[in-house]
Structure 1
Amino acid sequence: MQLVYVYDAYCGWSHGFSATLRETAAHHPELPVEVVSGGLFTGRRRVPVREFGYIQGANAQIAELTGAVFGEPYERLIADGSFVMDSEAAARGLAALRAGAQDRAADLATALQDAFYVDGLSLSDPATYRKLAEAHGLDADAVVTAFEAPHARAEAEADFRRSAELGVSGFPTLLAVDGERIVTLARGRATADEVETRLAAWSRPS
């Protein structure tokens, strides 16, 4: 059995779920965690943040309900409305980071969100991945090379297909997968205790 976490690095509700994901992964070191990028801001949705008038209001709600932090550098980054959230770039970055540390995919995914939502770093900037790689003891040159490599786009597209194949329609979604058996442990928002209760009920022999 494994956990499959489908998220988008530019999704505020995914950022709000980070603490739950970390706690759940810590409670279950025996369960591998596969992290899949969902592709929220691609195609026609890849536009300046001013096009999404709801973002700051949503962030306030996310902070209130989950305790997630939205840092001042992030607020400055999006203040003039020109910043473009590109989920393909973020998916390429996650793929580059996890390539050398599959067992730490959950930590790397939440660190990627902190880089944007707390530190105000663009997830389209190779320097962001260099910083994250160094902070997590990874080969920074290898990570940046992987992020910029021609095949990186194919890896991002593979994640987006995986998300669709799993039937995920909203982010974040946390699944438990055991062969052909799949159960949704969380969609949008849940505490670690709620996830634990659902996981225990699903794992209990019938």
Structure 2
Amino acid sequence: MKLVYVFDAYCGWSHGFSATLREVVSRHPDLPIEVVSGGLFTGPRRVPIREFGHVQGANAQIAELTGAAFGEGYERLIVDGSFVMDSEAAARGVAALRQAAPGRAAELAIALQQAFYVDGLSLSEPATYRKVAEEAGLNAEAVVAAFEGPEAPHTAADDFHRAAELGVTSFPTLLADDGERAVPLARGHATADDIDRRLASLV
């Protein structure tokens, strides 16, 4: 069995799930985890962040429920309002990091969300992936090359297709996949204990 984590790097609830994900991974080092990007902000939803009027209220709720931090760099983006969240670019970045260190995909997804939600870095900029890769001890040049390369749009599309194939329509979603079926363990918010109970019921 493996875990499948479907998230969007620009999803506040996915950022809020980071602590739970980190704990689940530490409790179950024997369980491989596949990380898949969803396409939350694509097409007509790629608009300035000011058009999502609910963002600050939602973030306050996420912080209260999960303890997730939203940093000053990110808050400056909210105040300015012109920043455009592009999930296709973020998915290319997730794929580039995942390619560099497949066994660390969950850790790198968390680091990427920190880069945006704490530091306020754009997930459309190669410099962000260079920074995340360097801090993780990865080959930063290879990660940036994968992010910018001709195959990158295909890796993003493949992830979006995989998320749809799994029937995931909201982020984050954590699934247990035994090769025959994928069973939801968490949608939106859950604790590591909640997930452990659900995992135990599958065995």
Matching residue's letter, 2:45: R
Q: Per-residue CA shift, 1:125-161, capped at 9, x if unaligned?
A: 1000000000001100010011001110000000000
% identity of equivalent residues: 74
- Establish whether residue 160 from structure 1 lines up as the match of residue 160 from structure 2: yes
Q: CA–CA distance in 2 between the matches of 1:52 and 1:167?
A: 25
Matching residue's letter, 2:190: A
Query: Which structure 2 residues correspond to residues 1-206 of structure 1 after superposition, within 5 A?
Result: 1-203=1-203
CA shift at 1:77, angstroms? Answer: 1.9
Matching residue's letter, 1:5: Y
Q: Per-residue CA shift, 1:54-89, capped at 9, x if unaligned?
A: 000000000000000000111012211100000000
Q: CA–CA distance in 2 between the matches of 1:146 and 1:179?
A: 29
TM-score normalised by L of structure 1? 0.97
Q: CA–CA distance in 2 between the matches of 1:59 and 1:100?
A: 31
Q: CA–CA distance in 1 between the matches of 2:181 and 2:46?
A: 34
Q: 2:176 is paired with a residue of what secondary structure?
A: strand
Gaps of 5+ in 2: none
Q: CA–CA distance in 2 between the matches of 1:182 and 1:124?
A: 31
Provide the alpha-carbon RMSD of the alignment.
0.6
Q: CA–CA distance in 2 between the matches of 1:148 and 1:79?
A: 29
Q: 2:124 is paired with a residue of what secondary structure?
A: coil
Q: CA–CA distance in 2 between the matches of 1:106 and 1:182?
A: 18
Q: 2:196 is paired with a residue of what secondary structure?
A: helix
Q: CA–CA distance in 1 between the matches of 2:43 and 2:109?
A: 22
Q: 2:17 is paired with a residue of what secondary structure?
A: helix
Q: CA–CA distance in 1 between the matches of 2:148 and 2:182?
A: 34
Q: 1:174 is paired with a residue of what secondary structure?
A: strand
Structure 1 runs of 4+ off > 3 angstroms? none
Q: CA–CA distance in 2 between the matches of 1:35 and 1:116?
A: 18
Q: Per-residue CA shift, 1:145-198, capped at 9, x if unaligned?
A: 110011100000000000000000100000000011221000000011101110
Gaps of 5+ in 1: none
Q: CA–CA distance in 2 between the matches of 1:46 and 1:34?
A: 26
